Structures are given as structure tokens and as C-alpha cells.
Amino acid sequence: MLFRKGPPGPWTHHVHVMEPSSPRWEEFILIRDYLRRHGEVASAYGNLKKALAVVFDVDIAGYRNAKGPFLRAVLARARADR
């Protein structure tokens, strides 16, 4: 589940909540841990997200789809790093 908080307009916060038995749990944890260990990749991801936010504005689906290739590559590296 995804919860968002903010006034009308841009959101100020969002939180992902799921049970550890969810199939996506492992993916989220692998990506999180990989980004924590690789600051340069985390920085690149932050820069990508900022650039995509400007391009896609309120088009959340477009934003999510555009960052997908980056995240899939990080996930593949994280799995290989185990």
C-alpha cells in the first residue's frame, strides 16, 4: 500500500507499507540496501528522480515508468552482489 500526505497540490510525504511475505518486499529491501552501500548510485537515483519530477509533474504513472529501467538495473546488481 502507498500512503501520501500533502495539501492539495504537491505531496509532501509518501510511505510504502507491505507485509514481509509480499513478493515485492525482497525487491524493496535489496534496492534499499544496495543504495545504502553505493552512495554514487543513490546520488544518481536522486538526481534522476528530481529530473523526472520536473518532466512528469503530476503524471505519477509516467514518472514511475520512467524510473523503472534504472531500478531494474539496480535490482539486478543488488541480486548479483548477494
The reply to whether 36 falls in a domain is yes
**Distance of alpha carbon 28 from alpha carbon 60, whole angstroms:** 19
List the domain range (segments joined by +) for residue 64.
26-82
Q: For residue 13, give the H/E element and its range.
A: strand 13-16
pLDDT in tens, 46-72: 999 999 999 998 898 999 999 999 999
The reply to whether 6 falls in a domain is no
The reply to whether 48 falls in a domain is yes
* C-alpha cell, 58: 503530476
Answer yes or no: pTM beyond 0.75: yes
Average pLDDT across the chain, whole number = 90
Question: How far does Cα 17 stand from its chain's mean position?
Answer: 13
**Distance of alpha carbon 34 from alpha carbon 42, whole angstroms:** 8
**Res. 4: pLDDT tops 90:** no
Count of domains in the chain?
1
The reply to whether 5 falls in a domain is no
Task: Using a pLDDT cut of 90, give the percent of the chain over it.
Answer: 66
The reply to whether 34 falls in a domain is yes
Helices (H) and strands (E) in the chain, counts: 3, 2
